[in-house]
């Protein structure tokens, strides 16, 4: 790990999967996660003004969070299908963190994705975008807490 804080269990499993997979399978797994990203709920699809942009990301990327009745944070992302690697990262965040407690999301190390073996597959600009996405997500969680 590049950071001291432990990862939430689901996210740790995904990181381990990527880290141990051969390079061609890592890219394939990222593309699979891009297909798993659920569509926006209708209330956000019809009212995109509620979505927060991540301007540091090279691809158009928008996010919104909301609390569920148990206090967990539901994550919603809007990422074009033409940006499959960034969309795959959003799919990973959604699968691993949606519904988790705010403290869990805020404790995710800022550069956890560097341990996934993606540096050989993704440009530095896209990697910086991944960092910006996580920072914006954490800011959104902090603001809504």
pLDDT for residue 144 is more than 90: no
Q: Which residues are paired to 75 by β-bridges?
A: 65
Q: What is the CATH number of the domain that holds 28?
A: 3.90.1010.10
pLDDT for residue 72 is more than 80: yes
Residue 95 lies in a domain: yes
Residue 90 lies in a domain: yes
pTM of the model: 0.93
Provide the number of structural domains found in the chain: 1
**Domain that residue 51 falls in:** 9-144
The pLDDT tens digits for 4-63 are 578 999 999 999 999 999 999 999 999 999 999 999 999 999 999 999 999 999 999 999
Asked whether 114 and 2 are in contact (CB, 8 A), the reply is yes
């Amino acid at each position: 790990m590049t950071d001291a804080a432990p990862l939430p269990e689901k996210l740790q499993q995904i990181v381990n999967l990527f880290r141990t997979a051969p390079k061609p399978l890592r890219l394939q797994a990222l593309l699979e996660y891009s297909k798993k990203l659920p569509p926006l709920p209708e209330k956000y699809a019809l009212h995109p003004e509620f979505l927060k942009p991540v301007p540091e990301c090279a691809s158009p990327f928008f996010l919104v969070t909301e609390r569920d009745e148990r206090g967990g944070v539901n994550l919603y992302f809007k990422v074009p299908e033409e940006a499959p690697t960034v969309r795959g990262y959003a799919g990973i965040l959604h699968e691993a963190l949606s519904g988790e407690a705010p403290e869990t999301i805020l404790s995710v190390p800022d550069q956890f994705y560097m341990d996934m073996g993606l540096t050989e597959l993704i440009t530095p600009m896209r990697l910086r975008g991944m960092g910006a996405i996580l920072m914006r997500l954490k800011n959104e969680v902090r603001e809504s807490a």
